[in-house]
Amino acid sequence: MPRESLEDLVAAARREAEAAEFPVDEPVYRKNGRDPMEPVLCAGSVEAPLGIMGRDLGKDEVAAGQPLIGAAGRLVRLGILKAWGDEEDVADSGAGSDAGPPLQAALKYVLLTNTVPYKPPGNKAYPESVRRRFRPFVERLLADHWTGRHLITLGAEAFGWFEPYIDADLLAERGKGDVRFESSFPGLLPTHGAAGGSRAITVFPLPHPSPLNRRWYDRFPSMLADRLAEIRGLQKVTSAG
């Protein structure tokens, strides 16, 4: 187990946020009674076999204090429940209702995070300079705290976050175009203990399931189901070995 607790990691991310200004959608935080300097680093279980990374927070995520809980997040969480949960989980999920529960049961099966643990103004992607500032905290979350090995990325920015950890030739061959959504990308995350080292992960990219992403939105549930079935199959093989 890491010497650093998740609470320590969140506190370190906050200190970085307070060290120098960067764009944050402060009105959305204030409207929801949230501190705009408090990072929303993750939700779910660090012991979950699956990780999912999005780009950054939206207004629903700020309100709930969790990643992936708006319209796109509900699609993701429902897909996870169908793949890992039981019939009771799915029946009680409140799926399809904006007023329903935020599919909390899915958090038993997944760790959810983003490239940056803050909401940008106007939902525009954070520039690389901001992603670089907060990369160490997301990296430590995934390398030192999370125990899983398989991670789905949602959208180009989330997949691009992993480029430093994946073989460049593989990225050049299969990391562009639609073929990436049918490919997997082994990578190594550096660990941060006294002995250093690295741990292996595999990244499975998907398009972002935003309702504005008309090309992929209707297809996303089946694409996610296929990815989750692929990952579950790999995990069964690993367990059997």
All structural domains of the chain: 6-240 (3.40.470.10)
As given in the structure block, the two tokens for residue 216 are 């992929």
Q: Give pLDDT tens digits for 82-137.
A: 998 766 666 655 544 444 446 899 999 999 999 999 999 998 999 999 999 999 99
DSSP 187: E
pLDDT at 95: 47
pLDDT tens sequence across 29-82: 999 999 999 999 999 999 999 999 999 999 999 999 999 999 899 999 999 999
Please check the confidence at residue 238 and state whether its pLDDT lies above 70.
no
Would you state the structure tokens that stand for residue 111, as one six-digit string?
């760790």
What interhelical angle do 6-19 and 128-140 show, nearest 10? 160
Find how far residue 190's CA is from the centre of its chain: 18
The pTM of the full predicted model, rounded to 2 decimals, is 0.92
- State the Cα–Cα distance between residues 107 and 150, nearest whole angstrom: 16
Of 18, 76, 91, nearest to 223 by C-alpha is 76
